[in-house]
Amino acid sequence: MPLQIRATDAGHPADLLDLPWGLPLEQWPDETLVALPRGISRHVVRFARAGDEVVAIKEVSEWAAAREYELLRDLDRLAVPAVDPIAVVTGRAAADGSALEPALITRHLGGSLPYRSMFETTMRPGTVSRLLDALAVLLVRLHLIGFAWGDCSLSNTLFRRDAGAYAAYLVDAETGQLQPQLSAGQRDYDIELARVNIAGELMDLEAGGSLHPSVDPVTFAEAICSRYGDLWHELTRESVYPAGKRHYIDRRIRRLNDLGFDVAEMQIQRSPGGDTVTFLPKVVDAGHHQRQLLRLTGLDTEENQARSLLNDLEQWMTTQDDYAPGDASSALGGGIPGARPEVLAHRWVREVFRPTVRLVPPDRRGSMDPAQIYHELLEHRWYLSERAEGDVGLDATVASYLADVLPHIPTAETAPATD
Residue 52 lies in a domain: yes
pTM over the 0.85 mark: no
- According to DSSP, the residues that pair with 90 across neighbouring strands are 4
CATH number at residue 14: 3.30.200
* Domain closes at, from 74, 108, 142: 108
Residues 118 and 96 in one domain: no
* Domain closes at, from 235, 255, 278: 235
Residues 259 and 327 in one domain: yes
User: Does the pLDDT value for residue 260 go beyond 80?
Assistant: no
pLDDT band for position 163 (cuts 50, 70, 90): very low
Residue 414 lies in a domain: no
> Which pLDDT does position 41 carry in this prediction?
72
> Which pLDDT does position 34 carry in this prediction?
84
> Which pLDDT does position 257 carry in this prediction?
61
Residues 345 and 251 in one domain: yes
Residues 282 and 165 in one domain: no
pLDDT band for position 263 (cuts 50, 70, 90): low
Mind giving me the DSSP string for 192-242?
HHHHHHHHHHHHHHHHTT-S-TT--HHHHHHHHHHHHHHHHHHHH--EEE-
Residues 54 and 190 in one domain: no
Residues 122 and 218 in one domain: yes
Residue 416 lies in a domain: no
Q: Once rounded to an integer, what is the mean pLDDT over residues 228-247?
A: 74
- Return phi, psi of residue 87, to 5°: -165, 165
pLDDT band for position 419 (cuts 50, 70, 90): very low
State CA 54 to chain mean position distance: 22
Residues 393 and 251 in one domain: yes
% of the chain surpassing 70 pLDDT: 77
328-368 pLDDT, tens digit each: 234 444 434 455 777 889 999 999 999 999 988 888 777 67
Mind giving me the DSSP string for 41-103?
-SS-EEEEEETTEEEEEEE--HHHHHHHHHHHHHHHHTT-SBPPEEEEEE--B-TTS-B---E
* Domain closes at, from 85, 108, 131: 108
Residues 137 and 97 in one domain: no
Residue 348 lies in a domain: yes
> Which pLDDT does position 368 carry in this prediction?
79
Residue 63's domain comprises: 4-108
Report d(CA 59, CA 100) in Å as an integer: 9
CATH number at residue 143: 1.10.510.10
State CA 295 to chain mean position distance: 18
pLDDT band for position 222 (cuts 50, 70, 90): very high
Residue 270 lies in a domain: yes
pLDDT band for position 292 (cuts 50, 70, 90): confident
Q: Number of structural domains, the chain?
A: 3
> Which pLDDT does position 284 carry in this prediction?
39
